[in-house]
Structure 1
Amino acid sequence: MGKLAIIGLGLIGSSMGLALRRAEPVNTEIVGFDKDADIGAVAFQMGAVQRLAPTLRDAVADATMIIVATPIISIRGVFEKIAPHLQKGAVVTDTASTKADVMRWARDTLPPGVHFVGGHPMAGKEQAGPGAAEPSLFDGRPYCIVSSGDVMPGAVSAVENLAKAVEAEPFFLDAEEHDSYAAAISHVPLIASIGLFNLARSSIAWRELANMAGPGFRDLTRLASGEPGMAHDICLTNRENILHWINRYIGELQRLADQVEQGEPQALYRILAETQMERDNFLVSPPKREPEGKDVDLPNAGEAFMDSMIGGYWRNRATEMTSALEERAKARSREERLRRRD
């Protein structure tokens, strides 16, 4: 491959370097640059790169591939600074969590003859920095590859081979699809994690809540411990998609709230049971992506089984719950009678 440059040596950039060095690419020099010299030093000491470049210009000079792994908001500035020093035919890619803005910045700033292909490895941790990097971070994870219609096929293949080299699974889609889907399965979970933690933390009972908190609360709020700058950049560059999916999430929460309020046991249980079955099926056997242009009505994995199973189970469950509800009603009636006597 020749010279490969990684710009930004935080968690993703350093993990990329470690994963590439694990793959032992033939005749490839992996050079790194980070504007923070201390971060660069840590990445070099742990073996993420073979050499540290003193400047951006030195990092990209004669490089056949450049991986920009900086925070999203910094990417445009990086493109502008490296553009005059890129050799013709070089492939530039990135690792940002949003793609539409990055694709536009690349189109506006990179010179003719340089090929840009967007990338987003769907992997990460709540810890930041090269100290948290590991070569297996991308193993088996989707690696989104986003290209424009006029990019050279060889450039797309180069980024596809990069994804395979770090043991990730290439996943092709366009920028608009990427940003909408990422909002649903990555960005809204981040916002929900922050919201849930703030909900509990702002309560006057926080001391008690904190001491009661178990694995469920910790798991659901894990993403709130992520790097604030990344979350900030995601919200700024994917605002409309995030708001769209937040509103859909609010609607789903309201649907569940309505079921809880109405207290109709069978309807509530059916939602809970079907959701459990669908998620378990997703973990074991996720739905396969259909070829582009093929319209497929995805079946509900639990629907047929639930229809045949829930009847018998529910009769027993309903009997138990009805008895419990009747006992609760009798207890309330006794309490009311006692109050009237008082």
Structure 2
Amino acid sequence: MSNEWPSLVLVTGATGFIGANIVDSLLSRGLRVRGTTRSLKKGELMRQARPQYASQLEFVQIGDISQVGAFDHVMEGVDAVIHTASPVTYDVKDNEKELILPAINGVKSILRACNLPGTKVRRLVITSSFAAVLDVEKNNILGPDFTYTGEHWNPITYEESIDPKASPVVAYRGGKKYAELAAWDFIAKEKPPFDLVTLCPPMVFGRIVHPISDPSELNESNSNLWKIAQGSDPLPEARVPGWINVKNLAEAHAEALLRPEAGGKRYVLASTEPFTYEAAADIIKEEFPWARDIVTKNYISGKEPLAKYKYDGARVAQELGITFTSFRETVVDLIKQVKELSSGRKS
């Protein structure tokens, strides 16, 4: 990626939780954005909510992203791409067919589109996942002296991922790993005219800027926080201690796209502050009087994360210029917004 800023950025999954925040980050920098969506209605709702960016933002409809050629018709004029779209579902009967291959083929589809004759794409940024990094077998035994970096890969094999006995969560991890590997393999073998950056966040919490009508449409991570505010007992279980505010994640995507020196790098994006759902429960009770008698008391206040390892957040902060939002501010902002949404008020 040269020092010249892109003239048109394609953002896939632009009407989703992460994608919409990325769109806003790009628009605030003065960039033109073309977002892909399965629903033009959602795209129009996003445009209507951003009248000040009417000349910078457009949406195009696509079908199944795992189909070859799904993005071919949306590449005209595009010189940079952020790919966030990926199938996420745990209601599956065939791990390989419904989770793993769609994830891999979705990445292959955007790679193909970026490499079409006549395209001018100079950088592709892919939203991967900490699931592609985490060694689950060591999750609760790694000590505080261990730090996950972009050099680490989940050791799960393809055979383990597609095993009919494997849970959808295990298959999801495999899908994220092998989808990201497909991208790096493509760069190594095809040597296209664009470079690649991948970002691997763990849990993502924070403010919603995409169209939803009620709390039932929240993404899984934010839904867990709202469930706590609604009296979840027991509290959700945190699989990892890592998290990032969605606004910080969006900023990281924009910086990864625009900074020439980020090319060819893989980042583990996580706050330097660990989280627990017990901490979320404490924050919600402290900050919202209406929740004090609703949030369950059946938990250990101040409980530390089961996993003790760290993430190289300091490197991300230095190389991408990201300042991490605190967990308290993140929880308060989200719960306030969803409370207003559930009451039928605009935030």
Q: TM-score, normalised by structure 1?
A: 0.40
Structure showing greater Rg: 1
Which structure has more relative contact order (CA 8 Å, sep 6+)? It is: 2
